[in-house]
Amino acid sequence: MFNTISRMLHTGLLTEPLPAPDQTAPTLATRQKELLKILGRALCIRHVDAGSCNGCELEIQALNNPYYNLEGAGMKFVASPRHADLLLVTGPVSVNMEEALKRTYDAMPDPKLVVAVGDCGACGGFFGTTYASRGGVARIIPVNLTIMGCPPSPAAILDGILRSVRPTETEDLKGTVSQ
Amino acid sequence: MATDFMEFQAARLPANIPSRRLRVDRVQWLQTAKALRESKARFLTFWGADDRDRDGGFRIYAAYLLPDTVMVVEHFIEDSPAPSYPSIAGFYPAALRMQRSVYDLLGISTDETDSRGWLRHGGWPETLFPLRRDVDGSRQYPIASGPYPFVPVEGDGVHEIAVGPVHAGTIEPGHFRFSVVGEKVLRLEERLGYTHKGVAKLFENTSQQNGHRLAARVSGDSAVAFSWAYCAALESITETVCPARAILLRALALEHERLANHLGDLGALGNDGGFAFGLTQFSRLKEDLLRANTVAFGARYLMDYVVPGGVAFDLPADARCRLLDLYDALEPSVNQMRSIYDEHAGLQDRFREAGRLEQSTAEKLGAIGLAGRASGIACDLRVDHPWTPYDSLVPKLIVRSGGDVAARVQVRFDEILESLRLCRALLSGPPIETIHTSVPVAAPDLLGIGLIEGWRGPVMIALETGPNGGIRRCHAHDPSWQNWPSIEYAILGNIVPDFPLINKSFNLSYSGQDG
Ligand code: SF4
């Protein structure tokens, strides 16, 4: 126990400010307020791996580490799509996961957001469109926003999630994202 | 002796560790498997290829690990309406799922009775075998999924719990079918293949110079191991000698990959054991390492770092100090966390005895790599078959005999400390010089293999060159193939709520086995 407490004290508070893509980017407090205004509570995120190489998962998991501290920013991962506002999808959609992805999407209550993560989620990446892969997520379910990268960094993912929640940003993207 | 032919007929095979290739007929295919099993050779991988365009048939290959060499046994199957070969699963049960996959992709079958698809879930027609050369891999087909009969367990109070393919967390998809009485697991049957992305077919449209990038994405958490294995195969075929510095940097990257995954797993295991503090601490340490990766290797995850002929990015001048500082900070933290874990009664209660894989079971199933070493299987390619630079580093073999979650935790702790030692030694290598040499285009129809001990176990690439700098066939093997069946045994008699912890203690790749 002594060890645990001493390690806690030694580690201190590591959480960093949220990513600031531009100079006018809001602070953590305003982001939290914004989320609260739009949703009235924390943003609930459900992740689905639709066939990724597992690289993108690693960076999504990193969002929970103390540096990014996702929950501190008013967002949390939930275990069921029925509890989720936002679906985070990784990977190209493999034909073997197509059905499961559609069902997960259908199980979410409206209104819902979908964010496709990684080059694969955006357009199929290295795996493209083949007998085994349907390509990008937007070919199977409607996508509000894509985050490029292979894999994208946790900061980029966090930034994408925050942008997807602001109605103006996703509307701008709708036309360009769906293929 | 019926297997004498093995001794003198085996030819040298280009590879980063001594390897031989043996061509056998149908009868010898079984005889070799039997003889190798009796001599305690380990089964590495199994794959097939469509060679009807070249000489009118199919080829199957099985790779075995012997104490002094890797033996790739090759068998030619004449084309016919129903091409087939004898199953080796009687000697090496791990071959079973690989044989089912070879049927799904190539349409060559065995005498096994289990004819359920493994990779094909109804996403393409039953009569279409995508890895055949006359099949256009870019065509799409409507899904027509049929039933997948799981083996039923009957008896008083037995019921089934179906889990997946989508799981309640940020993890890969797969299906687990538990047969339970109360909470106790009587049987677990896995169904995988959900993330099958047709990697083998994609390789056929990839150039030799680009294959490492696809290989790195077979299983993203083992990107360095896969891309190195690919490059080792290509460089062996072309007899390219990489600059010494590039080899050291590859090993440094491989050890960083091991460290990152072990740190991540130790955190997740603490969390699954009800000790969230462990996750916070280890995920922080892992993040520190990934940030140092950006400085040293130019990226957090090294998807495109190892390239044919060397590496893509030299260690910047200031990176050496930064890395040594990182190791100096990591080591005491890991040691402190180890004593916290060891002394935490609640955590130890969850770890000990949970998910035990006995050594005898592990031997029979052919468990390998980290999970094998936690069950007393003393096998680590870096130690037993050291390729450069591991021959001069002399890594320590880490083995535990417990076979439970606690043993897999301890192996990770020990391996982190050993990896840190290796990293320090690697940094004292030759100073800045060339990190890359050009690799010539390989002639067609040459086979070579690359075998690298990744953090999970031996990762293997078997590369056959095509004309004009192309790839004829490339088989990528993740050690998860051998180890997935072990979980079905490790869970027996445990309770369902312990499954996430036990599963995590193996932390196998879905994408790596699905391909
Ligand atoms: S984008 Fe890259 S890291 Fe993400 S799933 Fe695709 S290949 Fe893997």
Tokens at residue B253, please?
């990257």
**Predicted local distance difference test score (pLDDT) of residue A123:** 95
B209 and B90 together in one domain: no
Q: How confident is the model at residue A18, as a pLDDT?
A: 63
Number of residues in chain B: 515
pLDDT tier at A172, thresholds 50, 70, 90: very low
Burial of B30: CB neighbours in 10 Å, binned 0-12, 13-18, 19+: middle
Which of B193, B277, B509 is the closest to A96 by Cβ?
A: B193
Q: Which candidate, A78, A81, A66, places its Cα nearest to that of A16?
A: A66
Q: What is the mean pLDDT of residues A60-86?
A: 91
A31 confidence band (pLDDT: 50, 70, 90): low
* Average pLDDT of chain A to the nearest whole number: 85
Cα B163 from Cα B200, distance rounded (Å): 28
Q: Calculate how far, in angstroms, residue B89's C-alpha sits from the geometric centre of ligand 1.
A: 33
Establish if B283 touches chain A: CB-CB under 8 angstroms. yes
Atom nearest to A149 CA in ligand 1: 1
Q: Residue B46: its pLDDT value, please?
A: 98
Taking the C-alpha atoms of residue B215 and residue A69, their distance in angstroms, rounded to an integer, is 32
Split into its structural domains, chain B has a count of 2
Domain with B29 in it: what CATH number?
A: 3.30.460.80
In a 13 Å sphere around the CA of B176, the CA atoms on its Cβ side amount to 21
Residues B88 and B206 in one domain: no
What is the value of ipTM here, to two decimals? 0.94
d(CA A161, CA A147): 9
How close does chain B come to A98, measured CA to CA in Å? Answer: 9
- Shortest-distance Cα residue to atom 5 of ligand 1: A52
Residue range of the domain that includes A59:
45-177
Q: Are B331 and A85 in contact (CB under 8 A)?
A: no
Residue A62 and residue B283 in contact, taking contact as beta carbons nearer than 8 Å: yes
pLDDT at A159 (0 to 100): 86
Residue with tokens 């005898």, as numbered in its chain: B360
Ligand 1 centroid–CA A119 distance in Å is: 6
| Minimal Cβ distance to B194: which of A66, A97, A128 | A97
| Residue B491 within any structural domain of the chain | no
Residue B114 lies in a domain: no
Could you give the CA distance from residue A22 to residue B358 in angstroms, rounded to a whole number?
A: 56
Residue A101 belongs to domain with CATH number: 3.40.50.12280
**Interchain pair A131, B220: CB under 8 A:** no
Please give the structure tokens belonging to residue B357: 């894989």
pLDDT value of residue A12? 79
Q: What is the pLDDT of residue B449?
A: 97
SS3 label, residue B293: helix
Nearest to A67 among B277, B284, B344 (CB): B284
Query: How many structural domains are present in chain A?
Result: 1
For residue B238, the SS3 value is helix
What is the identity of the amino acid at B211?
Answer: G
pLDDT confidence of residue B1: 45
At a CB cut-off of 8 Å and minimum separation 6, what does B421 contact?
none
Residue A37 pLDDT: 76
Return per-residue pLDDT of chain B as tens, 515 residues. Answer: 445 666 667 899 999 999 999 999 999 999 999 999 999 999 999 999 999 999 999 999 999 999 999 999 999 999 999 999 999 999 999 999 999 999 999 999 999 999 899 999 999 999 999 999 999 999 999 999 889 999 999 888 999 999 989 988 888 999 999 999 999 999 999 999 999 999 999 999 999 999 999 999 999 999 999 999 999 999 999 999 999 989 999 999 999 999 999 999 999 999 999 999 999 999 999 999 999 999 999 999 999 999 999 999 988 988 999 999 999 999 999 999 999 999 999 999 999 999 999 999 999 999 999 999 999 999 999 999 999 999 999 999 999 999 999 999 999 999 999 999 999 999 986 666 778 888 999 999 999 999 999 999 999 999 999 999 999 999 999 999 999 999 999 999 999 999 999 999 999 999 999 99
Question: What pLDDT does residue B4 have?
Answer: 61
CB contact under 8 A, B173 and A150: no
The reply to whether B407 falls in a domain is: yes
User: Domain holding B277: CATH number?
Assistant: 1.10.645.10
**8 Å CB contact between B244 and B311:** no
Q: Which of B67, B85, B106 is the last residue of a domain?
A: B106
Which residues are CB-contacts of A176 (< 8 A; sequence separation ≥ 6)? none
Is residue B138 less than 8 Å (CB to CB) from chain A?
A: yes
Structure tokens at B322: 């930064």
Cβ A120 under 6 angstroms from ligand 1: yes
- Domain assignment present for residue A20? The answer is no
Nearest CA to A92 among A144, A146, A137? A137
Asked whether residue B24 is assigned to any structural domain, the reply reads yes
Same domain, B234 and B344: yes
Contact indicator for B460, B450 with CB cutoff of 8 Å? yes
Are B218 and B69 part of one and the same domain?
no
Q: For position A16, what pLDDT does the model report?
A: 77
Is residue A99, in this structure, part of any structural domain at all? Answer: yes
Q: A97 and B264: CB-CB below 8 Å?
A: no
For ligand 1, whether the C-beta of A136 sits within 6 Å is no
What is the three-state SS of B159-225? EEEEECCCCCCCCCCCEEEEEEECCEEEEEEEECCCCCCCHHHHHCCCECCCHHHHHHCCCHHHHHH
pLDDT computed for residue A36 by the predictor = 75
Whether A71 has its CB under 8 Å from any CB of chain B: the answer is no
| Structural domain boundaries enclosing B441 | 199-479
Residue B488 · residue B190 · CB < 8 Å? yes
What DSSP letter does each residue of A31-89 carry, written as one string? HHHHHHHHHSSPEEEEEEESS--SHHHHHHHHTTSTTT-GGGGTEEE-S-GGG-SEEEE
Q: Do B281 and A65 touch (CB under 8 A)?
A: no
Closest-approach residue (CA) in chain B for A2: B340
**Within-domain flag for A128:** yes
pLDDT at A151: 96
Q: Ligand 1 atom closest to Cα of B217? A: 7
- pLDDT tens across B157-205, in order? 999 999 989 988 888 999 999 999 999 999 999 999 999 999 999 999 9
Cβ of A59 below 6 Å from ligand 1: no
Q: Is A112 on the interface with B (CB under 8 A)?
A: no
Could you tell me if residue B494 is inside a domain?
A: no
For residue B241, being part of any structural domain is answered with: yes
Residue A130 has pLDDT above 70, yes or no: yes
B418 plus B273 within the same structural domain: yes
Q: B75, B106, B137 — which closes off a domain?
A: B106
Is residue B320 domain-shared with residue B461, that is, in the same domain?
Answer: yes
| Domain-embedded: residue A40 | no
The domain boundary, picked from B90, B106, B122, lies at B106
Task: Tell me whether residue B253 is in a domain.
Answer: yes
Q: Does residue B156 lie in a domain region?
A: no
